[in-house]
Amino acid sequence: MSRLRLGILASGRGSNLQAIIDEIERGSLPAEIALVICNHPGAMALERAAKHGIKAVVIERKCYPTKAEYEVAMVEQLRAHGVDLVVLAGFDRVLGPEMVRAYAGRIINIHPSLLPAFGGGLHAQADALEYGVKVTGCTVHFVTEEVDAGPIILQKAVPVLEDDTVETLSARILAEEHKLLPEAIRLIAEGKVRIEGRRVRLLDS
């Protein structure tokens, strides 16, 4: 069986990208990274890809007159590299219809909260702390045109501790993200994920 070909979209630090690379290199994830797309030229994600000999391209929003044209450029690259599954691993832009429709049901995202709580922004950990919840966590979900609202594949709860700061809480959530995202990709690669309406059924996992 051919390995699932991943297209990873990352914007910055790229620690989730690194977690995927590590799992693949360890032999525990039957997938390969066909392409990394980064929307910021100086991002550490690009260095990580280069270090592991992974093809990466920079596609910046500002180089295209419209968001639609920007997304078409990304879709062209993903298709040219035979990408089966698009993984948003710390991608800081909301995807529009050009991208979401081109890869319908084949785009996943990692979000640092237990959705539907604290969705729709880039400050989910700070929002959880400020709200005062005792438990937060992370979610891997399919991407639809509605932000952070697609069918949920996996979630992991993380307690909020009395002395937590945004930094300590974020770090504890991030450690779980690094396990959850590769695990979701593994389930998809093994054909164990079925979308049934709003729900995702996990087969024999």
Q: Using CB atoms within 10 A of its CB, is residue 150 exposed (0-12), middle (13-18) or buried (19+)? A: buried
Q: How far is the CB of 175 from ligand GRF (least distance, A)?
A: 11
- Catalytic residue flag (residue 52): no
Binders of ligand GRF among residues 32 to 61 (CB under 6 A) are: none
Distance CA 61, CA 70 (A): 6
The verdict on 112 binding ligand GRF (CB under 6 A) reads yes
Distance CA 6, CA 150 (A): 19
Mask for 73-102, x = binds ligand GRF (CB under 6 A): ----------------xx------------
β-bridge mates for residue 152, sequence order: 141
The verdict on 14 binding ligand GRF (CB under 6 A) reads yes
Going across the sheet that includes 31-38, the strands are: 56-58, 31-38, 4-10, 85-88, 107-111, 135-142, 152-159
Minimum CB distance to ligand GRF smaller for 72 or for 155: 155
Q: How far is the CB of 42 from ligand GRF (least distance, A)?
A: 13
Binders of ligand GRF among residues 165 to 194 (CB under 6 A) are: 174, 177
One of 40, 52, 81, 111 is an active-site residue; which one?
111
Angle at 145 between CA 17 and CA 201, to 5 degrees: 70
Choosing from 13, 52, 93, 123, the residue that interacts with ligand GRF (CB under 6 A) is 13
Please report, as ranges, the residues that interact with ligand GRF according to CB under 6 A: 10, 12-16, 89-90, 110-112, 174, 177
